[in-house]
Amino acid sequence: MIRLNLYSSFLVTNAFLPIMRKQKYGRIVSITSAMANFEYEGLGAYSAAKAGLEGLMRTVAIEEKIMVY
């Protein structure tokens, strides 16, 4: 779950940010889940991955000084 829902997004973001910076334009769309904010038995890895993805994207937005919708 972590590799699929968090690490893969990290890799793609890392690959495309330099291109977006050079073009001075770009969009990253991440799909998360309400599960990032709730806990259910047996879904810990999924919830952690989605919460991590939300944190990653907020941090990228702050570092790149962009708007988050």
Residue 68 lies in a domain: no
Query: For the segment 3-25, what is each residue's pLDDT rounded down to a tens digit?
Result: 999 999 999 999 999 999 999 99
Query: What does each C-alpha distance from 63 to 26, 27, 36, 59, 60 come to in angstroms?
Result: 15, 15, 22, 6, 5
Residues spanned by the domain of 39: 2-63
Residue 69 lies in a domain: no
Domains contained in the chain, number: 1
Q: How many residues make up the chain in this entry?
A: 69
Rounded distance between C-alpha atoms, residue 22 and residue 26, angstroms:
10
Question: How confident is the model at residue 65, as a pLDDT?
Answer: 83
Residue 43 lies in a domain: yes
Annotated catalytic residues are 46
Residue 14 lies in a domain: yes
Q: Name the band, by pLDDT with cuts 50, 70 and 90, for residue 32.
A: very high
